[in-house]
Amino acid sequence: MITIMLVDDHPVVREGLRGMLEAEADLSVIGEAGSGDEAVALARVKQPDVILMDLRMPGLDGVGATRKILAETPGRRVVVLTTYETDADILRAVEAGASGYLLKDASRAELAGAIRAASRGETVLAPSVAGKLVNRVRNPVTQVLSAREVEVLRLVATGGTNGDIGRALHISEATVKTHLLRVFNKLGVSDRTAAVTTAMSRHLLE
């Protein structure tokens, strides 16, 4: 029997997943968590074989929870199950140690098969995700941030608004937005939080 823990901040999603998975004779859901922090605490107690992890949750996100869980209990297998498939999300999850990355449109058979594979130590990726990773390896990002873009991103990391950043750097809010759009494009992300976390993981803000 493969034991599973579900991590998602939407109860209806967890309920649906539980129903799908427990229809499989060899799969058993032994715990549910609605946040990253709750997932870390519950994994410590339940010690599931495989954890299905949502990415975006209030507080500690799925990547942070994955990193903490695997640091505390290295034998666990974490499979990300999300609606997001940006390059930055995928890379952050893989770098945190996730064994797989699936999208929420996966069928019951695909999900069950991925859990079984992950429990055996195999890597499982949705086809579109695998394609993005292969493309990233073949075409690595070579663009670097300019000194001004780094300044803007550092101020974003401290919680500054566009207005705050503009006043600190003596530039207009429109110019701040332009710098941020260029940063997003270079890092392959779509929001401020992802830009900061990605830049930090690549040691661009040190």
Which pLDDT does position 65 carry in this prediction? 95
Beta strand segments in 23-152, E: 27-33, 50-53, 77-82, 100-103, 124-125
Instruction: Please report, for residues 1, 49, 101, 117, 193, the alpha-carbon distance to residue 123 in angstroms, rounded to integers and kept in the order given.
Output: 20, 14, 9, 7, 27
- Mean pLDDT of all residues in 111-136: 86
Looking at 27-41, 60-74, 105-119, 138-152, which range is the least confident one?
Answer: 138-152
- Mean pLDDT of all residues in 123-137: 78
CA dihedral angle for residue 43, residue 48, residue 49, residue 53, rounded to 10 degrees: -50
Looking at 42-46, 72-76, 152-156, 188-192, which range is the least confident one?
Answer: 188-192
- Mean pLDDT of all residues in 16-35: 96
Q: pLDDT class for 128, splitting at 50, 70, 90? A: confident
**Mean pLDDT (the chain, rounded):** 89
What's the whole-model pTM score?
0.68
